[in-house]
Amino acid sequence: MHSNKAAKMSTQLDAKLDAYWMPFTANRQFKQAPRMLTGADGMYFTDDKGRRVLDGIAGLWCVNAGHNRPRIVEAIQKQAAELDFAPPFQMAHPKAFELAERLVELTPAGLNKAFFTNSGSEAVETALKMAIAYHRVRGEGARTRLIGRERGYHGVNFGGISVGGMVGNRKMFGSMLAGVDHIKHTHDPARNAFSVGQPAHGAEFANDLENLIALHDASTIAAVIVEPIAGSTGVLIPPQGYLQRLREICDKHGILLIFDEVITGFGRTGNPFAAQTFGVTPDLMTVAKGLTNGCVPMGAVFAKQFIHDAFMQGPEHLIEFFHGYTYSAHPLACAAALGTLDTYAEDGLLTRATEMQGYFAEALHSLKGEPNVIDIRNLGLVGGCELAPLPGEPGKRGFSVFLDCWEKGVLVRTTGDTVALSPPLIIERSHIDHIIDTLRSALKRVA
């Protein structure tokens, strides 16, 4: 009976769209009215009907230099013709070293070792494993507990969904990694609604970590992982002093602090990394997305020297860190990343958000007072506009706004009922005006 139902459903859809099972998408709904992108250039996508669509979200928080940048395209083409693949275990190719060196010039002081992965999710798993193994190689094998944060998003693998704080994961996948706890999230609209930049209230949310330490004892805790700005759960900006407090508590108890900068890395907040913007340096830092401007899948973990050194002094003499991927430091990804770093440098993009953030903030906050807008949050060139949910139908109002903007030629993203903006860093004032005007009209129409 089930298969009949499924067969009937699929005949209603375009047969050509049937085989591809799309990620994080309501497939049946999408396939009835597909949104197809067929080209891109600079700030714009082109769709299959030839319309230009202004990209308000840098693809998926990743195309920081804008689309189809020539230097990156050429770097990938050249690399593909020169060296398509090199095994990354017990072998290497020069661009992997060159890239690591270039990257650690940009990272916060001390984060001077780079380990490559293929995605943000893999970077997260790698960082969590590195943290646990670090304690183990120095004889503190009881430190296995991992602490995440409510409303955190750390990708989709089992470590990431365990330390993450998205309700949907627990509903669909049941029990997670054992030995994981969460500190409170920092969203406090009663005190901080419509804050421009970092909210004033909430540094004390970090003290929740002390409660978990009192409960489990620091000697069992390996690491704490947070996004400096929680992106995928609604653009939550850390309150003033909050990250500093987390750092102090971790230092006091020998716990590693991991920043997941998959969204905030590569210029989003006005510095290469949000750690620099907030003046707090983690022990491990994960990145992806903007690392290659979204062109070729790649992620990375940056580690402090002392973490790396602990492995070098460990007992194993053939393999120091028992972890890696077939495509770690893939030549095409390294070439794309090097082309991306050149493009960021040439266009001054890693600090451009500093110049643009005032205009962006003012435009975004001008939506206060539009129908259903209950909060607006921003920092650098990332922002969120939160809408009151439709009673009993969370996410629906946000999605209607997304669809309306798409129909009017602007791509935004909604997470629940928060409309997120995270445009390419090449954005000009006229693009900001266009995005905000379109969003304003959508808010009015959807109301």
Going by C-alpha positions, the residue among 382, 127, 409 that lies closest to residue 237 is 382
Contact residue for ligand PMP among 108, 231, 282, 290 (CB under 6 A): 231
Pick the piece of the chain touching ligand PMP (CB under 6 A) from 179-187, 258-266, 267-275, 334-342. 258-266
**Binding map of ligand PMP across residues 14-53, x = CB under 6 A, - = no contact:** ----------------------------------------
Q: Which residue is nearest to ligand PMP (CB)?
A: 120
How deeply is 35 buried, as exposed, middle or buried, from its count of CB atoms within 10 A (0-12, 13-18, 19+)?
Answer: middle
| Termini Cα distance of the chain | 40
203 close to 185: Cβ distance less than 8 angstroms:
no
Q: How far is the CB of 263 from ligand PMP (least distance, A)?
A: 4
Q: Angle, to 10 degrees, between the axis of helix 305-312 and the axis of helix 120-137?
A: 60
Q: How far is the CB of 392 from ligand PMP (least distance, A)?
A: 28
How deeply is 391 buried, as exposed, middle or buried, from its count of CB atoms within 10 A (0-12, 13-18, 19+)?
Answer: exposed
Q: Which is nearer to ligand PMP, 186 or 438 (CB)?
A: 186
Contact residue for ligand PMP among 31, 67, 145, 154 (CB under 6 A): 154
How many helices (H) and strands (E) in the chain?
Answer: 17, 15
Query: Which helix (H) or strand (E) is 162 found in, with range?
Result: helix 158-163
150 binds ligand PMP, rule: CB under 6 A:
no
111 close to 304: Cβ distance less than 8 angstroms:
yes
Q: How far is the CB of 297 from ligand PMP (least distance, A)?
A: 7
Which bin fits 4, alpha (ψ -120 to 50), beta or left (φ > 0)? alpha
Give Cα separations from 432 to 52, 118, 439 (angstroms): 16, 32, 11
124 binds ligand PMP, rule: CB under 6 A:
yes
Site for ligand PMP in 259-278 (CB under 6 A): 260, 262-263
227 binds ligand PMP, rule: CB under 6 A:
yes
Contact residue for ligand PMP among 107, 121, 233, 414 (CB under 6 A): 121
Size of the site for ligand PMP (CB under 6 A): 14
Q: Which is nearer to ligand PMP, 285 or 373 (CB)?
A: 285
Q: How far is the CB of 121 from ligand PMP (least distance, A)?
A: 3
Site for ligand PMP in 281-340 (CB under 6 A): 288
- Its sign, for the CA torsion 344, 346, 347, 351, is positive
Q: How far is the CB of 371 from ligand PMP (least distance, A)?
A: 28
120 binds ligand PMP, rule: CB under 6 A:
yes
**Sheet containing 284-287: which strands, arranged edge to edge?**
113-117, 299-303, 284-287, 256-260, 221-226, 145-149, 180-183
Q: Which is nearer to ligand PMP, 45 or 153 (CB)?
A: 153
232 binds ligand PMP, rule: CB under 6 A:
yes
203 close to 242: Cβ distance less than 8 angstroms:
yes
162 binds ligand PMP, rule: CB under 6 A:
no
Q: Which residues form the interface with ligand PMP (CB under 6 A)?
A: 119-121, 124, 153-155, 227, 231-232, 260, 262-263, 288
